[in-house]
Amino acid sequence: MSGNGTTGTADIAFTLDGETVTARPGETILQVAERHGVRIPHLCYAEGLRADGNCRACVVEIEGERVLAPSCCREPAPGMKVRATGERARRAQKMVLELLLADMPEAPYRADSELDLWARELGVEGSRFPARPAPEPDLSHPAIAVRLDACIRCTRCVRACREVQVNDVIGYAGRGANARIVFDLEDPMGESSCVGCGECVQACPTGALLPAALLRLDVDAVLLSPLDWSWSDEWP
One-letter amino acid identity for 198?
A: G
Residue 178 binds another protein, judged by CB under 8 A: yes
Binding residue for another protein (CB under 8 A) from 112, 145, 183, 210? 183
Residue 91 binds another protein, judged by CB under 8 A: yes
**Residue 163 per-residue DSSP state:** I
Alpha carbons 236 and 229: distance in angstroms, whole number: 10
Sign of the torsion formed by the C-alpha atoms of 54, 205, 170 and 221: negative
Q: Which is nearer to another protein, 195 or 219 (CB)?
A: 195
Q: Which is nearer to another protein, 55 or 144 (CB)?
A: 55
Q: Which is nearer to another protein, 134 or 223 (CB)?
A: 134
**Listed ranges 27-35, 118-126, 185-193, 213-221: which one lies at the site for another protein (CB under 8 A):** 185-193
x/- track of binding to another protein for residues 131-150 (CB under 8 A): --------------------
One-letter amino acid identity for 115?
A: L
> 165 Cβ partners below 8 Å, 6+ apart?
197, 199
Alpha carbons 229 and 33: distance in angstroms, whole number: 16
Residue 128 binds another protein, judged by CB under 8 A: yes
**Cβ pair 170, 123 in contact under 8 A:** no
CA angle 177, 183, 189 (to 5 degrees): 120
Q: Which residues make up the interface to another protein (CB under 8 A)?
A: 1-5, 53-57, 59, 67-68, 70, 73, 88, 91-92, 95-96, 99-100, 102-103, 128-130, 152-153, 162, 168-179, 182-187, 191-195
